[in-house]
Amino acid sequence: MAQNWQDPAFAGQWDARHLAGNPARAEHLAILLSMMEEVPQGWVLDLGCGSGLVAQMVLDRSAGARIFGVDSSAAMLGLAHERLASYGDRTRLAEGDLTALDRVDAPSGCAAVIAVQSLHHLAEPQYQSAVRWTFEHLAPAGWFVIIDRLAIPSETLYSAFYVLRERQGQSPNPPDWSGYLDWLAANGDRPQPVQTILRLLEAAGFQAAALDVRGDRGMVVGRRPA
Ligand SMILES: C[S@@+](CC[C@H](N)C(=O)[O-])C[C@H]1O[C@@H](n2cnc3c(N)ncnc32)[C@H](O)[C@@H]1O
């Protein structure tokens, strides 16, 4: 099923099966939540917050955290409103586009910004703008945590990624490069190579590192200097 985030049926199915076909997600979220325990009281911006699954985990784990979530899907935001209603003023949700974050009235001086499986929808210039915007909205020493799909760099290397993805139980796993490109196009996915993500973070002023890369799934961290 191609991804259509505006479709309430697709949104509900993704929410119910958010761990399916992506064995790295649970581990990366566990690392994220441990990191968030150290985040001081304050706003955590959740870019592409979807149905609020990760927001709820952060709110439960970090007593001082408040979440400002932004997403362009009314269907996903509807699920997030339901899920987060009991957290009262610890949450704010906004309909907005990651390609036009300047139009989002988000808090500044934030303790952290997280982006879980959302930035791979952006082309590189849009990604660059989102990273710069993020830097400006973080307090000194604030963390930027990205968990996302990464680009498979070339057809020449594809068979190695296919083998790894098969072993990991990732699905779907197209058997050849053209099938992979078709699958990305059908979903509107434009994953960036980890090198590009690190370069964009460093160019914006972050200290940045690839914390954990598992084939085409990765966790990249950036920190605004203190
Ligand atoms: C795979 S879901 C991840 C949701 C959530 N971060 C999580 O991990 O549970 C991707 C989310 O990104 C959102 N999204 C995709 N492109 C977007 C864009 N250009 N602006 C804002 N949100 C976008 C989708 O609506 C969807 O909710």
pLDDT of residue 40: 78
Q: Which range among 16-20, 112-116, 219-223 shows the weakest confidence by mean pLDDT?
A: 16-20
pLDDT of residue 100: 97
The pair phi, psi for residue 216, each rounded to 5°, is -100, 25
**Which residue's CA is the closest to the ligand 1 atom numbered 16?**
121
Domain ranges of the chain: 36-151+191-223
Is the entire prediction scored with pTM above 0.85? yes
**Which residue's CA is the closest to the ligand 1 atom numbered 13?**
48
The pair phi, psi for residue 8, each rounded to 5°, is -55, -35
The set of protein residues with a Cβ atom below 6 angstroms from ligand 1 is 5, 18, 48-50, 53-54, 71-73, 76, 97-99, 116-118, 121
pLDDT digits (tens, 9 = 90+) for 177-209: 999 999 999 999 999 999 999 999 999 999 999
For residue 6, give the amino acid letter: Q
Compute the distance between CA of residue 100 and CA of residue 64 in angstroms, rounded to an integer: 29
Pull the structure tokens for residue 202.
């460093």
pLDDT band at 2 (very low <50, low <70, confident <90, very high): low
In angstroms, what is the span from residue 50 Cα to ligand 1's centroid?
5
Least Cα distance to 170 among 119, 212, 215, 210 occurs for 215
Compute the distance between CA of residue 84 and CA of residue 136 in angstroms, rounded to an integer: 26
pLDDT of residue 5: 92
Task: Please report which helix (H) or strand (E) contains residue 59, including its range.
Answer: helix 53-61
pLDDT of residue 1: 53
Q: Which range among 36-45, 67-76, 147-156, 205-214 shows the weakest confidence by mean pLDDT?
A: 36-45
What is the second-level CATH architecture of the domain 36-151+191-223?
3-Layer(aba) Sandwich (3.40)
- Average pLDDT over every residue of 104-121: 97
Q: Which of 15, 73, 101, 129 to mutate to test the pocket of ligand 1 (most atoms within 8 A of CB)?
A: 73
In angstroms, what is the span from residue 156 Cα to ligand 1's centroid?
30
Compute the distance between CA of residue 107 and CA of residue 104 in angstroms, rounded to an integer: 9
pLDDT digits (tens, 9 = 90+) for 22-68: 889 999 999 999 999 988 789 999 999 999 999 999 999 999 999 99
Beta strands in the chain (DSSP E): 42-47, 65-71, 91-95, 110-116, 138-149, 207-214, 217-223
Q: Which atom of ligand 1 is nearest to the CA of 53?
A: 9
